[in-house]
Structure 1
Amino acid sequence: MSHLPLLRRTVRSERRPLLGWLIGITLLSVVTIGSWPAVEGSTEDFAQVLDNLPDALTAFFGEGIADFSAAGVVGSRLFGSVGLAIFIGYAVSRGARAIAGEEQQGTLELLVTQPRTRTAIAVERVIGMLGLLALLVVVQMVILLVTGPPAGLEFGTAEVVQASAGLFLLAGMFGSLAFTVGAMTGARGLAVAVSAGLALGLFLLTGLGGLVDGLATAAELSPFTRYDGTLALAEGVEAGILVVFALISVAVIAIGVVAFQRRDLS
């Protein structure tokens, strides 16, 4: 890391905020896993409640929640709904901060005058964002693997790893988009709005796709259709989906790096 000063600086500056995110993810994981024995005893009641809810609501819960299985319930919290919101929120906020945040704070000019290329600056900032995102995902994965069995949650290690990889890559896509919008415009707020807005729009599209025939085809293109957190722990995630997510992120980041190289910062 001695040859990556900006990466080292990013990690240092993120220590306190990262601690808060780690505490939040740990609490979510522990509470979700620890409450499963109590939830398991009431599965029939919960399933009946779900059956009585309108389709317009249940469409957004995920396909795997229908039978109220352990994989569906735990997956919906850690890898869908709340979990997705937390990890995408982290990735978007840090992606937007990577370049646009520095620019709005008035420190970007100082960075670009140092003996480092703009490409190196951008790449190191992205690596920092994705590396810390990966750390958060790994922490959740380890908690699930370690505390799940004592709580009666016997998920396959391969499925947990695949679900975690999908979560990282899905959140990373939107974080990469936030980085690119910020690198192109220098506007942190715009980067957050575009990335978070697209994530919300695609999530809604996935839910509405099962309700509106005219949206079904478009919904198939949504990453939230391809990655369903309520199914990931039971069925895993197809390798092809993970590859597509990774390739999209690489392409989006490349666009951001090139745009940052060519921008006039004066």
Structure 2
Amino acid sequence: MLKNIFLKSIHDYRWATLWWSIGVSLTSALIVAIYPDYSKAGNELNELFNNPAMKAFVGEIVDITTPEGFLTMEGYNLFFPVLIIIFSVMLGTAFVSGEEKEGTLEMLTATPVSRASIIAQKCSALFILTIFLGFIFFISITIGAIIINMDVSIVNITNISIHLALLGLVFGCLSLFIGSITGVKSYSIGVPASIALISYLLNAFSSSITLFDTLKYLSPFYYYIDKNPLIHGLNPWHTITLISIVTILALVSLFTFKNRNLT
């Protein structure tokens, strides 16, 4: 067994991360590969996505024949966020409530390592693995775009990949926090999943439902995709907001785990 908790956490999920990376790479390559067919479809697709119901999901990008519109609709709007959120929540659940259920967390707390150090190292492992998967999204889309001569800014692919990783970390840290409070694995999965769904719907339908337009500022998805970083670059305030949410959740996870009775 590795003595360093951070390295052990990464070591334990090295194969899962590898298979996720392969899956993400293949999926991203497939999406990019079908773009030439979409770009030839012209007005037929644009008319479809100009439908008010569809625009709720597409947002400001309605021309799916452009590289940015295509990548947003087929990947960054929903599909890629779902993948990275599932991955990060899986890790956040496994690192605390999963280990508590298996009895290994109690063994860790019996060692000379402080509880604060335990949760800090596990949180660091969550950060590294989620950011790594975000990098896999970036490199897969970038290489695919270069191969098919897709006219899209590499800088802006970087920008939206940063937001994608941060979005995953928001819900991964939320899972870690729920596990630190309750120690119940089903809560660590169910609560972040429910909040992610509600957050997505709040932002997706904010243009058509007045109440949602007011509440969209509570949604991490708003800060992730509003003003589309794939086109306009990073909005510093949105990036700072996502980083702040991740930081707060990590800190409260540390505090609650440090003070909770595990017996």
**Which residue identity is paired with 2:63?**
D
Q: 1:176 and 2:167 equivalent?
A: no
Gaps of 5+ in 2: none
Q: Is the aligned partner of 1:206 residue 2:212?
A: no
What is the deviation of 1:45? 2.0
Is the contact made by 2:223 and 2:242 (CA closer than 8 Å) also made in structure 1? no
- Displacement of 1:149: 2.2
Which residue number corresponds to residue 192 of structure 2? 195
Alpha-carbon distance between aligned partners in 1 of 2:95 and 2:4, rounded to the nearest angstrom: 14
Tell me the distance in 1 between the aligned counterparts of 2:120 and 2:164.
22
3-state DSSP of counterpart to 1:211: coil
- Aligned counterpart in structure 1 of residue 98 of structure 2, from 92, 97, 101: 101
Gaps of 5+ in 1: none
- Show the counterpart of 2:6: 7
1:156 aligns with 2:153: yes
- Normalised by the length of structure 1, the TM-score is 0.92
Structure 1 counterpart of 2:114, one-letter code:
T
AA of the residue aligned to 1:93? M
Does the 8 Å contact 2:159/2:234 carry over to 1? yes
Shift of 1:230: 8.6
Can you list the C-alpha shifts for 1:91-127, whole angstroms capped at 9, x where unaligned? 1111122111100111111111112101111011111
Aligned equivalent of 1:46: 45
Give structure 1 regions of 4+ aligned residues with deviation exceeding 6 angstroms: none
Q: Secondary structure at the match of 1:155?
A: coil
Aligned residue in 2 for 1:146: 143
Task: Output aligned runs, 1:1-266, within 5 Å.
Answer: 5-51=4-50, 53=51, 55-64=52-61, 66-68=62-64, 69-228=66-225, 231-266=228-263
How many aligned residue pairs are there?
A: 261
State the distance in 2 between where 1:127 and 1:148 align.
Answer: 31
- Tell me: higher relative CO, structure 1 or 2? Use CA pairs within 8 A at least 6 residues apart: 1
Q: Does the Cα contact within 8 Å between 2:57 and 2:77 map onto a contact in 1?
A: no
Rounded to whole Å, the distance in 2 between the matches of 1:263 and 1:220 is 32
- 8 Å contact 1:61–1:81 — kept in the other structure? no
Deviation of residue 158 (structure 1)? 2.1
> How far, CA to CA, are the matches of 2:47 and 2:73 in structure 1?
18
User: Percent of aligned pairs with the same residue?
Assistant: 23
Distance 1:57 1:44 in 2: 15
Cα distance per residue 1:186-217 (max 9 Å; x no partner): 01110111111111001111122211123311
Could you say what secondary structure the match of 1:33 adopts? helix
* Letter in structure 1 aligned against 2:55: T
Contact 2:229–2:235 (CA under 8 A) maintained in structure 1: no
